[in-house]
Structure 1
Amino acid sequence: MSRMNSVLLPILVVLVSVVALLLLAGTNPWEPLKIIIEGSIGWPPFEGGSSRKVGDTFMVWVPIALASAGLIVTFNAGMWNIGIEGQIIMGAIAAAFVAREVSAPRPLLILLTILAGAAGGMLWGLLVGVLRTAGGVNEIFGGLGLDFVALSLTTYLIIGPWARSGVASTSGTDPFPADSLLPSLGSSKLSPLAVAIAILALVGVWLLFRGTLYGLKLKAVGRNRPSSFLLGIPTNRYLLGAFMICGALAGIAGTSQALGFHFKLIPAISGNYGFLAILVVLLARFRPFLVIPISFFFAMIAVGSPSLQLRLD
């Protein structure tokens, strides 16, 4: 079985199974698909005043794609970075701090928020790596624990220091200053900058494993860590590097969520897109360019499924 078939077969099986279930239920299988498409990119697709829907779908695609790019790095290093949810959250918190506290010209402020988001996610990812390499804590358990810490910190900030004036609510902070928000097209949320960063991240990860010695050694560490160590590769350093790269990309995903989609910090700022990215990467078989269509498919479902639920109700 070719690599492409191994990617397409599971998706095809799922689609056929869903169609079969809908037919057994006496439902037209085309109608739910049409509703999801209409709710995500409009119907006909990309026409009929659907710019807002298209913008929402692309801005959901961005964090999924960024998280997937980061996970490709840690998966190739042999690590299950379940802590990516926490890294997205910490990136959003760091970006929110800069957006709230720093005053600067808009281009510089946007750059600072992106860098802060990357730094926040990178440090949280590094913490998972340190627990794994220095403390012997499995990255799955360490990552999950840090996910809960990050989520709790978000809630604390929203109802505590960053609470809206006169309101005790977990609905989110005050909206961020307009100058700190990612630039968007027209009245939609679509930010060409965010989309470009996501595409560059996937291209960068492809180049990392396609044509660099670092990527080759990182793959070797993931395939056989003891042998790599005996050959002189500093395995722990490479593992920490993988977690830092993944964390930085996840942090930028959090920045996109906070400053390009919600425009404030909310408890569910990650959208569970980190966990969804794990599924995307596994379906893509760690191939960056396959991440693009697969993650966009899931973004369409995420944005369009509420329309399906409303129609069914």
Structure 2
Amino acid sequence: MTTPVLVVDGLRKHFVSKKGFPTPRTVRVRAVEDISFTIHAGEAFGLVGESGCGKSTAARALLRLIEPDAGTVTWKGENVLTAQGASLKALRRRMQIVFQDPYSSLDPRQSIGSALMEPMQVHGLAEGKEARRRAAALLEEVGLPPAALDRFPHEFSGGQRQRIGIARALTVEPELIVADEPVSALDVSVQAQVLLLMQDLRKRRGLSFLFVSHDLSVVRWFCDRVAVMYLGRIVEEGPAGRVLANPLHPYAQMLRDASPIPDPARRGVLPRIIGEIPSAANPPPGCPFHPRCPHAMPQCSVRMPGWTQAAGDNQGGVACHLHG
């Protein structure tokens, strides 16, 4: 395994707000709670889990689109969270993001050409005709005609807008792409086209990916390794094939069993999922999954499980008392 390019250690993000009337009370939402993982050069690393588990918050926090409360994020030995000025600007070139909603991530009053050329100008990569030439080449690389430079976001379909979002991320020649649910808003046939495009770019440009998704079939196809999140914590990590085919954590097993199988011969009755997801503002004591876990033991409601390395996998493991 190559040396990690991105190391996330103990990342935490809480949101504090006031609720209630006439006497408001302070509410602390523990969106991301002490998560750690690494991404290697050319690797696609997946973050999966139910909506609200903290996947997108974690992705944005490590890029400092929102400032984390604790932890470290290291890019090739340089601390992202303490970088300022020119150092931070240089790091932003190395790491870019593709958002879930391609329409809201584009300025409706800005032409596509302007949206693609502006990052090049900000980072001093190209100006004028050279910037326009590069922008046209990027559009062709993602499967759009150069004539799209003079058009506006509302003139494109959802799949085309997502291709524009990918092209914009590539304008500054990054090494890591954070893909935040990049295909969840698209039709299934368009999803396949965009995924194939991203896989092709990954191979040709040697890109690394942090791929955030709740769709296990997409993650299984695209990612090399995967981490499963529940209520702001990583509960299992390992090779995508192993984690999604033979998960160790009961929550990961629940996700796997609830994922639809596109094969009529293998269809069965979807499992009954016990209970509701606890609030991140009031998580249960001990293991956060124990109120819904079919294997819960007395210690699960008292003590947070430690991290246990998975057999034969020096990169992965599980946080569960069943394997402690």
Coarse TM-score class (shorter-chain normalised): under 0.3
**Higher RCO structure (Cα 8 Å, ≥6 apart):** 1
TM-score for the superposition, normalised by structure 2? 0.23
Q: Quick check: which one's helix share is greater?
A: 1
TM-score for the superposition, normalised by structure 1? 0.23
